[in-house]
Amino acid sequence: MAKVTQISTRKSDHIRINLEEDVRSKLTSGLERFRFIHQALPELNLEEVDLNLDLFGRRLKAPLLISSMTGGTEEARQINLTLAEAAQATGIAMGLGSQRAAIDHPELIPSFQVRQVAPDILLFANLGAVQLNYQYGLQECLRAVEMIEADALILHLNAVQEAVQPEGNTHFAGLIHKIEAVCKALPVPVIAKEVGWGFSERAARLLSDAGVAVIDIAGAGGTSWSQVEMHRSETESQRRLAAAFIDWGIPTADSIRMVHRTAPELTIFASGGIRSGVDIAKCIALGATMGGMASPFLKAAVKSLQNTIEVIHEIEREIRVCMFAAGAGNLEMLHQTDLIEVNPYA
Q: List all residues 6 or more positions away from 332 whose beta carbon is below 8 Å from its beta carbon.
A: none
Q: Which is nearer to ligand FMN, 25 or 262 (CB)?
A: 25
Give me the least distance between CB of 215 and ligand FMN, in Å please: 12
Q: Which is nearer to ligand FMN, 292 or 327 (CB)?
A: 292
Give the amino acid at 125.
A
Q: What's the 3-state SS for the chain?
A: CHHHHHHHHHHHHHHHHHHHCCCECCCCCCHHHEEECCCCCCCCCHHHCECCEEECCEEECCCEEECCCCCCCHHHHHHHHHHHHHHHHHCCEEECCCCHHHHHCHHHHHHCCCCCCCCCCCEEEEEEHHHHHCCCCHHHHHHHHHHHCCCEEEEECCHHHHHCCCCCCCCCCCHHHHHHHHHHHCCCCEEEECCCCCCCHHHHHHHHHHCCCEEECCCECCECHHHHHHHHCCCHHHHHHHHCCCCCCCEHHHHHHHHHHHCCCCEEEEECCCCCHHHHHHHHHHCCCEEEECHHHHHHHHHCHHHHHHHHHHHHHHHHHHHHHHCCCEHHHHHCCCEEECCCCC
The three-point CA angle 56-62-66 to 5° equals 75
**Distance between CA atoms of 110 and 101, rounded to whole angstroms?**
11
Give me the least distance between CB of 244 and ligand FMN, in Å please: 20
Look at strands 152-156 and 339-341 and give their pairing: unpaired
Q: Which is nearer to ligand FMN, 49 or 301 (CB)?
A: 301
Q: Which residue is nearest to ligand FMN (CB)?
A: 222
Q: Which spans of this chain sit near ligand FMN (rule: CB under 6 A)?
A: 14-15, 18, 67-70, 97-98, 126, 154, 156, 193, 195-196, 218, 222-223, 271-274, 293-295, 298
Give me the least distance between CB of 67 and ligand FMN, in Å please: 3
Q: End-to-end CA distance of the chain: give it in Å, rounded.
A: 52
Give me the least distance between CB of 43 and ligand FMN, in Å please: 34
Give me the least distance between CB of 275 and ligand FMN, in Å please: 8
Q: Which is nearer to ligand FMN, 82 or 295 (CB)?
A: 295
Give me the least distance between CB of 28 and ligand FMN, in Å please: 11
Q: Which is nearer to ligand FMN, 195 or 325 (CB)?
A: 195
Give me the least distance between CB of 19 and ligand FMN, in Å please: 8
Q: Which is nearer to ligand FMN, 34 or 225 (CB)?
A: 225
Q: Which is nearer to ligand FMN, 230 or 325 (CB)?
A: 230
Count of other CB atoms within 10 angstroms of residue 243: 14
Contact 310, 86 (CB under 8 A): no
Q: Which is nearer to ligand FMN, 282 or 337 (CB)?
A: 282
Q: Which is nearer to ligand FMN, 126 or 208 (CB)?
A: 126
Give me the least distance between CB of 232 and ligand FMN, in Å please: 12
Give me the least distance between CB of 279 and ligand FMN, in Å please: 10
Give me the least distance between CB of 68 and ligand FMN, in Å please: 4
Q: Which is nearer to ligand FMN, 128 or 287 (CB)?
A: 128
